Chains A and B, each alone.
Chain A
Amino acid sequence: MSQDEEMSSANNLPAEQDHGDGELAVKGDNPFADPGLPPHEHRRTDIDEKAANRAERQVAFLFLISMLATIGFIVSYYAIPKSQIVYIFLLGRVSALNFSLGLTLGVALFCIGAGAVQWARTLMSDVETPQERHPIEADKETREFVFEEFKAGAKDSAFGRRKLIRTTMFGALALVPLAGVVLLRDLGPLPGKKLMETNWAAGKRIINHNTGEPLKPSDIQVGSLTFAYPEGLSEEDEQFQEKIAKDALMLIRMRPEDIKDKTELDWSYEGIVAYSKICTHVGCPISLYEQQTHHVLCPCHQSTFDLSDGAKVIFGPAGHPLPQLKIHVGDDGFLAASQGFQEPVGPSYWERP
């Protein structure tokens, strides 16, 4: 006998008899004994026919209200125009149709329930009766019988003896799910370099998101915030959503002397800096830019980046700075990318260098 078995021999458990077993104790002998179920007390409706009749009328009244409410529901459905807005106290200006449909349906359903419960509470018997439980576990004989039967069955199958059958069967069963796994392959393409690349490339002009026009340096004032996408991207594109999910850009302008990071300054143009709008945490479009502190906050998880210092993470769960896009002014006077992003935009992943 192992120590564990010895320890679970229930010598630390209280005796089953601690609970009453429903037998009435002899009063005075054991004050803690189970006094047994208290005698049933009558409700008014049990003994007073008038009260019972009143309860019946209450229940019927509830069912009646339900019927009226259902009729109200149907009438509302046909009578109230879809677009009608009404002012309702405390609720504000709401759809008349939604309000009346919901309320009538609610009342119709609630009254059926309330009627049924009231019926049960007042008119159905409330005598509490005990019912015996039976142990879930089988008795010893059944248990032994089952084991015998199982052994006999197992012996019949020769499962233990004919090892070849057993081994090959397990092999077959283990292999067949692979068919299902292989079928999942076409759920999507392999990642390849997809997450590493954006549409930004050397010479691509920077298009103002709001106006659709290419941006000039004079468009961007100190303290302003401008969102942009690369030239050539259009909302009509088949892949617009996938592209904008990586290409979205924000531009701000600082006094060049406020830029603390050397690379940031090199990659800026007269204080104009361009950063990816996609948070490096889990990819929300980060853009809560505070023009006095130059901090930009992500609305989803509050990662905070300092745009005057290489977009360094100064708070929150993001793991690395926002990627910066190197910009210059082209011969045409418009702002353009000097090169693509030098690192993947958006959230981190295993293959990210």
Chain B
Amino acid sequence: MKAADWADGRLGIYGLAKSNLRKIFPDHWSFMLGEICLYSFIIIILTGVYLTLFFQPSMAETVYHGSYTPLNGIPMSEAYKSTLDISFDVRGGLLIRQIHHWAALVFIAGMFVHMFRVFFTGAFRKPREINWLFGFLLLVLGFFDGFLGYSLPDDLLSGTGVRFMEGAVLSTPVIGTYLVMFLYGGEFPGNDIIPRFFTIHVLLIPGIMLGLLAAHLILVFYHKHTQYAGPGRSEKNVVGMPLMPVYMAKAGGFFFLVFGVIAAISAIATINPIWQMGPYRPDQVSTGAQPDWYMGFAEGLIRAMPGWEIRFAGHTLVLGVFIPLALFGLILVVLALYPFVESWVTGDKREHHILDRPRNAPVRTAFGAAWITLYLVCMLGGGNDIVATHFHLSINDVTWFVRIAFFVLPVVVFIVVKRWCMGLQRKDKALALHGRESGNMVKLPHGEFTEAHIPLEPEQLYPLVSYDQQVPLKLPPAVDENGVKRKVSLNTKMRARMSAYYFGEKSQIPKPTVEEYKEIASGHGGHH
């Protein structure tokens, strides 16, 4: 008590606690995906700090005479040597290294799944667009920090990635060679890239990420969590259990569970066994050179791209490398900007706290599925050699498949998923209006057999009928009331067209109405 009073006198904690101590959070497993990311991030920081105690971010050459005898007498950089030392001479060092790396894979996988939960449920809508962007930035920074961390041990696999980066940066028109010289401190590989990557990896990017993370969490608290539709849940409330004690126990416990699972994985499966790969040398390479999974789609773009090069006036425009790089950014940015496109189409300025069921937003859901398809196709391209060897295919065929599927599959998936959503809407409507199938056959007076349906309970019915359904925007009449031709801006025309696509009859099934329900309930429509 005394300590709390002391703190309140200086920090005003009682004011904060008043509104937050018993703050209500809704209970759903999909709301915990973000927590997986938060906790794995904390694990990464804890283990990362431990690793810095032993790691030497230096490219100075040394000859190895440590306890891993199969590399005895091999020249290598201090960075590689110290990573070997962490793995073989520091007790538990290997475990911490593996936890750090596994947690990084889980962190980014978690961000992905979390992001798509938010996407498919429409949780990015007002007032949460800024938080969507914060989350997106965290994802992209996670990509890059992961890539940098993977490069630090200076082994043959990661060095190949660093060399790839040199080639990629070189392809930048006009300033490519300057960027490379400034980045590597001279010609590749030089002596600067590992120490520079180290600082960026442990200080710059994690610092920015911590700031974004804090902002992300503050906004989650401030906006209060979204919830799924259900009896008693509305746009104006949030239904769930209090932070103190239920979520303190559940969320706090979840941290330990995440840490425990990752530690156990690190005990049973090895990750990035750098001693198998050997130290980096620019004239050596191994087949199956891939980046960590999250960079796989960039790798696929690079592998599938034809080798276009344009020469003119003594210069070379390296489109074969530069286009994939630009696409890499573009594909990500499209996803980041989607919420703003959707709100432009809908013109919706209201707050949304009740989540959409994905089927009730067919165009959005189909777009998300198409994006994921594109991502997966590229990722497949990034592993085309592994795919070829393990499925006994020709690597050339796999690459051609990726080249074609890149354009075709997302479109196919878009169409299929949109129709699927519409089908589910139809099913929901039938369920809402007619109720569940009872399994009992009934003979009607005129001899027809039909299955009797049991009407839904109100708490089952409500979530099926309580969602938003927009009607397409209508352009104002071409001529106004004074007979003057209206000028309709291109923007408006496009909006109307998009809106018709989003909310026209090809993209949604009209919601069941009370009238329809009452008519069927009164017996007119009972024989479906």
CB-contacts of A183-231 with B (<8 A): 184, 187-191, 194-195, 209, 227, 229
**Once the chains are docked, how many angstroms separate the CA of A119 from the CA of B256?**
14
Contacts A20-B462, A317-B306, A349-B170 given: A285-B285 contact, CB under 8 Å? yes
Q: Inside 8 A of B254's CB, which chain A residues have their CB?
A: 113, 117
Query: In this complex, what residue of A is CB-closest to B346?
Result: A13
Contacting pair A97 B92 (CB below 8 A): yes
Contacting pair A242 B189 (CB below 8 A): yes
A337 at the interface (CB under 8 A from B): no
Main secondary structure of the interface of A (DSSP, over half): loop
Interface size on A, residues (CB 8 A): 115
Contacting pair A350 B236 (CB below 8 A): no
Interface size on B, residues (CB 8 A): 151
Q: When the two chains form the complex, which single residue of B166, B192, B241 contacts A129, counting CB atoms closer than 8 Å?
A: B241
B469 at the interface (CB under 8 A from A): yes
Query: In this complex, what residue of B is CB-closest to A110?
Result: B260
Q: When the two chains form the complex, which single residue of A32, A184, A235, A285 contacts B514, counting CB atoms closer than 8 Å?
A: A32
Contacting pair B261 A241 (CB below 8 A): no
> Which of A41-49, A132-140, A170-178, A327-335 lines the interface with chain B?
A132-140
Q: List 12 A-B contacts (CB under 8 A).
A: A6-B476, A7-B347, A114-B257, A116-B250, A120-B245, A120-B253, A124-B246, A128-B27, A131-B240, A195-B170, A285-B282, A287-B285
**Once the chains are docked, how many angstroms separate the CA of A309 from the CA of B440?**
77
Q: When the two chains form the complex, which single residue of B182, B261, B309, B486 contacts A188, counting CB atoms closer than 8 Å?
A: B182
Interface-centre pick from B95, B348, B521 (highest chain A CB count, 10 A) = B95
Q: Inside 8 A of A302's CB, which chain B residues have their CB?
A: 303, 384-385, 395-396, 399
B436 at the interface (CB under 8 A from A): no
Q: Inside 8 A of B346's CB, which chain A residues have their CB?
A: 12-13
Contacting pair B385 A8 (CB below 8 A): no
Contacting pair A187 B182 (CB below 8 A): yes
Q: Inside 8 A of A184's CB, which chain B residues have their CB?
A: 182
Q: Inside 8 A of A315's CB, which chain B residues have their CB?
A: 396, 399
For the complex formed, measure the closest distance between the CB of A201 and the CB atoms of chain B, giving whole angstroms.
18
Contacting pair B492 A32 (CB below 8 A): no
**Once the chains are docked, how many angstroms separate the CA of A4 from the CA of B344?**
11
Contacting pair A34 B318 (CB below 8 A): no
> Which of A156-164, A251-259, A266-274, A276-284 lines the interface with chain B?
A276-284
Q: When the two chains form the complex, which single residue of A19, A129, A132, A235 contacts B354, counting CB atoms closer than 8 Å?
A: A19
Query: In this complex, what residue of B is CB-closest to A8?
Result: B347
**Once the chains are docked, how many angstroms separate the CA of A126 from the CA of B466?**
26
CB-contacts of A265-317 with B (<8 A): 277-278, 281-288, 299-303, 313, 315-317
Contacting pair B458 A112 (CB below 8 A): no
> Which of B263-271, B361-369, B371-379 lines the interface with chain A?
B263-271
Q: When the two chains form the complex, which single residue of B236, B255, B267, B486 contacts A101, counting CB atoms closer than 8 Å?
A: B267
Query: In this complex, what residue of A is CB-closest to B305?
Result: A317
